[in-house]
Structures are given as structure tokens and as C-alpha cells.
Amino acid sequence: MKIGVYGQYYQEDAGDFIQVLLNALEENDVNIVVEAGYYEQIRKFAGITKEYAMFSSFNDLDASYDMMFSVGGDGTILRSVLFVRDLNIPILGINTGRLGFLATVQKEGVCKAVQEVVNGEYELRKRALLQITSDPPVDDQTEVNFALNEIAVSRKNTTSMITIATWLDEEYLTSYWADGLIVATPTGSTGYSLSCNGPVIAPSTDAFVLTPIAPHNLNARPLVIPDKTRIELSISGREENFLVSLDSRIATLSNETRITIEKAPFYIQMVELREESFLRTLRKKLLWGEDRRN
């Protein structure tokens, strides 16, 4: 079995945990390949002395990998997606951060999680992604034009709202007068969209949600649409530019740029251990059902 290990950065209280994780993988005869930047950090700060094979980019990965371990929080998983892309390598999130809505394995249970992975005691859940194109094309636009959580447009260098004219499958919907607009996947419905009063959508639902950010149109509400819908946006405002974000990646575009958002042609496979589920995560992470009267 071949597993990649990735983390964005080393956390001070994670040194012993990292060693436990690597030991558990080695005890199960796993071929371990560590992302180069993360490897340097754990060598420097966690005292890891053993030599491991390394990868540095998407181009270093291939179908020989059975799984990717993402060590950190949900943001680390979003970064892991940039390595995995369309290679269909499943991602297991190990939470060393705070909320950990996607990273469901707690670091205290990492040995058990490794054993379950080796024994095949898990399910794979497909997660849809969004992709964006622009007209005219952006100079530095690359193949990394996709997002697992959301694509959002928002104002830049101004306190004034922007106007976001929106078309769905070439039919005009409305013009949002707001700080911005979020287009979220079911995976992203529990992130930025949720904080803007968007609905929670089960990951298996074939839908996206449009969630305005602080709209001045008081009748503007989040809208759930089929995930096969083609979304076109045209932005205008007092400033000449606006921001577009793909998960945690941000770019500046001019108001003359028309953007198109649609479903990406591939999925991300998330590993779900037998004791975990989306509904359990809702109860545990969002405290659903918590009531002091009970």
C-alpha cells in the first residue's frame, strides 16, 4: 500500500503525533511518501530523522498512490486537492486543527484509523467540484481553476457594494446588490456559505447553492440549483476591479471580465471511516440537537 502524507505547516503540539502516525504506517508495511515542504518542517521541528521518499507537486503523483493523508484542518484538505486533482486518489483528513468538518479523524485515534484503512474498513464518498473560466481569459489562468468548497466574487478596495448580474443556463436570474456572491458545492455548504445564512446540503446531493454576501436586496435569498447549471456572472461597481476566490486562492479581475462557473469534469474521493458519517459530523461539529433543556 502506498500513501502520501501532506501537511501545510508544523504545529508545536503535533510532534509526538506525527511520529505515532509514521510508526503506525510503517508497522503496517505502508510505503510512505511525504510532501517535500512538510517533510522539511517535521524534520526540523519534530525531530524526525528517518529518510522518506518525497513528492513536490501534482506531477509527482500517479495512480500508484492508494491514498493521501491530509494532516491539519479543513484548509489542509483544500490544499491536498491541488495535489490530487483528477488522479482519483482518495483523501483522508486527520484533524490537528480546530473545527475539522472535512478532517474527521482526530489525532488521538490515528492508530485505529490507520488499521481501518489497511483493513479496507472504510467507504469512499464522491465530492463534486466547481470550475471557473473567464472571458477574456486571465493572463495567469492555469489548469488549477477548480474549487472543492466554493467560488466567490466580492468587492475590492471599497466599502461600496458591487452589482452581480447573474444568468443561469443563459437565462437572466437577477442582479445582486451586495458585498459579493458565493457559489458553493454541497461540501462547501458548511463553510463560507453557511456563515452567510446558506443552507446545509448533504454531500451526495446533485446541487449547488448561490448565497449572496450581505445583500442590500432584502428579498435576495440563497438559491439551490441543479449542479448541471451553467452560471454566468458580470460584475460592476465603483471600483474597476473585483476579487474572485477559489477556496483559499484569491485573484483580482477587472469589471470587464465575465466569468462562467460550472461543475468540474472530475470528483474528489473522500475517505469515510465506518464510525463516521455526514449526519454524525453535523451533530458533533455544529452541535445539532444540543439543547440545555435536554
Where residue 83 falls (left for φ over 0; alpha for ψ -120 to 50; beta otherwise) is alpha
Q: Kindly report, residue by residue over 187-221, the tens digit of the pLDDT.
A: 999 999 999 999 999 999 999 999 999 999 888 99
pLDDT score recorded for residue 143:
62
Q: What is the mean pLDDT of residues 30-57?
A: 91
DSSP state for residue 199 in the 8-state scheme: P
pLDDT score recorded for residue 142:
54
Alpha-carbon distances, residue 63 vs 24, 84, 86, 179 (angstroms): 23, 10, 10, 42
At how many degrees (to 10) do helices 15-27 and 36-45 cross?
Answer: 120
Q: Kindly report, residue by residue over 50-90, the tens digit of the pLDDT.
A: 899 999 999 999 999 999 999 988 999 999 999 999 999 99
Catalytic residue among 13, 29, 62, 74: 74
User: Confidence band (pLDDT; 50, 70, 90) for 28?
Assistant: very high
Sign of the Cα pseudo-torsion (54, 60, 61, 65, in order): negative
Identity (one letter) of the amino acid at 287?
Answer: L
Q: Is 139 a catalytic residue?
A: no
In sequence order, the β-bridge partners of residue 95 are 72, 106
What pTM did the predictor assign? 0.91
Q: What is the mean pLDDT of residues 248-259?
A: 92
User: Confidence band (pLDDT; 50, 70, 90) for 222?
Assistant: very high
pLDDT score recorded for residue 44:
86
Which distant-in-sequence residues (6+ apart) come within 8 Å of 221 by Cβ?
none
Please answer whether residues 198 and 189 qualify as being in contact, where contact means their C-beta atoms are separated by less than 8 angstroms: yes
CA angle 205, 106, 120 (to 5 degrees): 65
Domains present along the chain, CATH in parentheses? 2-120 (3.40.50.10330), 129-266 (2.60.200.30)
